[in-house]
Amino acid sequence: MKCNIICNFATEKTQESKMQDINSSNIQKLESMISQARKIAVVTHQKPDGDAMGSCTALYHFLSLCGKDSIRIILNDRYPAYLDFIVSDIPDTDLLVFSERPLETGIILRDSDLIFCLDFNAFSRTDKLEPFLAGSKAEKVLIDHHLNPDRAAFDLSFSETDISSASELLYNVLMSTSIIAQNAENLPLKACTALMTGMTTDTNNFSNSTYPSTLLMASDLLAAGVDRDEIISRIYNQYGENRLRLLGHILKDLLVITDDGVAYIVLDRNTQKKYSVAEGDTEGFVNMPLSIAGVRMSILVKEDEGRIRVSIRSRRGTSANGCARQFFNGGGHENAAGGRLDVPKDIPGIEAAAEYIERHTHIYLNGDNE
Ligand code: 5GP
Ligand code: MN
């Protein structure tokens, strides 16, 4: 039997194959796992963003609604401060960061009997949580929208790539449960706010990955009472002056555009220190060069503590995911991906990043070394 959400899409031929994992058998399995679990952990990828925190927070409130009293969100590292507003109702005892409390979080993961994995496709994306997840005897549920999910690592998988965000996928999973019964008003308002936030950040406020299902979700969440103006203000209008000053410096002095139509920015530690860059301050920068005609791919390289992080965005017809997988030790979505450069395997240091990017994107886009 198909669940309601799929029946609703039956009029749209292109949508018929969407969200196949949301069927009555998987939903029943999920409901039975939840009702039998005593200790539940919710985890997401390292450096959690709006979608990661939005989906974890919404699931936390849903599980509370189901009567669960031992739910712990475990993060590899702390989320950016601008997301405080969605997690402010979760007590500190239920939201723990591995880098701050490694012993306690390790024990919680070890003792959990059900673990939800949200917004990532393989344990390696959780960094230091990976060995705990791989070694855990708990049942594991995946809810994710990335390419190439490692389904074999999970007891139950909800995976869909033609969707805006993990938050949108989770929304549809929750709507299909008997307690929510396809009525968003049955979801706690805090969960609705978190889901709207996650979808909004992953679509860059409806500028990419926006499907008919995304707008249906947004409409239902608005009708259920979500204050979207407040969310937009929290996400986009609370930055410090430093962020805009840094953006000015980047656009004037650091942005490079190659003959292949690759725009790239290398942000070293010194520049970040000079502009007091905090986690989340460079959010959105990598998308901006795609506004220039002829730019096919945009890359932001950021020197981080002990690692060099890479963000890649591409126009339709060029695969950011392919480039990330082939040359930047990463992956993600077709037009939004990420990865890292390893020192000294890939480059001797951040000063060699520009040459590496130019050489490898040239090979990637032209298929030769000239
Ligand atoms: P961002 O550039 O916003 O950090 O990431 C863009 C997308 O690429 C996200 O969906 C993210 O999950 C994915 N991504 C970022 N870093 C990595 C990585 O190191 N490995 C993989 N497989 N995906 C990544
Ligand atoms: Mn996501």
Backbone φ and ψ of 255, nearest 5° = -70, 130
Work out the burial of residue 3: count CB atoms within 10 Å of its CB; fewer than 13 is exposed, 13-18 middle, 19 or more buried.
Answer: buried
Ligand 1 lined by 331 (C-beta under 6 Å): yes
Question: Contact at 8 Å (CB) between 218 and 252?
Answer: no
For ligand 1, the distance from its centroid to the CA atom of residue 193, given in whole angstroms, is: 24
Q: Is 311 in the pocket of ligand 1 (CB under 6 A)?
A: yes
Instruction: Say what the pLDDT of residue 7 is.
Output: 39
Q: Give the end-to-end CA distance of the chain in Å, rounded to a whole number.
A: 56
Question: By percentage, how much of the chain surpasses pLDDT 90?
Answer: 93
Ligand 1 center to residue 330 CA distance, Å? Answer: 7
**What is the model's pLDDT at position 368?**
63
Residue 333: what residue type? Answer: H
Nearest protein Cα to ligand 1, atom 15: 338
**How far apart are the CA of 238 and the centre of ligand 1, in A?**
24
Identify which ligand lies nearest to the alpha carbon of 56: 2
Quote the pTM value.
Answer: 0.93
Instruction: Check residue 125 and give its pLDDT.
Output: 97
Ligand 1 atom with minimal separation from the 45 CA? 12
Q: In the chain, what's the furthest Cα-to-Cα distance?
A: 62
332 pocket-lining for ligand 1 (C-beta < 6 Å): yes
- 110: amino acid identity, one letter: R
Q: How far is the CA of 180 from the centre of ligand 1 (A)?
A: 31
Question: Counting Cβ atoms within 10 Å, is residue 200 exposed (0-12), middle (13-18) or buried (19+)?
Answer: buried
Pocket test for ligand 1, best of 46, 146, 148, 301 (most atoms within 8 A of CB): 146
Separation of alpha carbons 288 and 272, rounded Å = 19
**Mind listing the pLDDT tens digit for each residue in 110-131?**
999 999 999 999 999 999 999 9
pLDDT at 306: 80
pLDDT reported for residue 305: 82
Name the packing angle between helices 189-202 and 212-223 (round to 10°): 150
The residue ranges of DSSP E strands in the chain, in sequence order, are: 40-44, 71-75, 95-97, 114-118, 139-144, 156-159, 256-257, 262-267, 297-304, 307-314, 331-332, 336-341
Q: Kindly report the length of the chain.
A: 370
Distance 273 CA to ligand 2 centre (A): 28
Which ligand is nearest the CA of 307, by number? 1
Nearest residue (by CA) to ligand 1, atom 7, is: 337
Residue 122: CB within 6 Å of ligand 1? no
Closest residue by CA, ligand 1 atom 11: 332
Q: Please name which ligand lies nearest the alpha carbon of 51.
A: 2
Rounded distance, CA 28 to CA 192, Å?
23
Residues of the chain with pLDDT under 50: 1-16, 369-370
Which ligand approaches the C-alpha of residue 340 most closely? 1
> What is the CA(63)–ligand 2 centre distance, in A?
20
Instruction: Report the nearest atom of ligand 1 relative to the CA of 321.
Output: 8
Q: Which residue among 125, 130, 281, 297 is best mutated to probe the pocket of ligand 1, counting the most ligand atoms within 8 A of its Cβ?
A: 125
340 lines ligand 1 (CB under 6 A): yes
Note the pLDDT of residue 370.
46
* 48 pocket-lining for ligand 1 (C-beta < 6 Å): no
CA 78, distance to chain mean position in Å, is 14
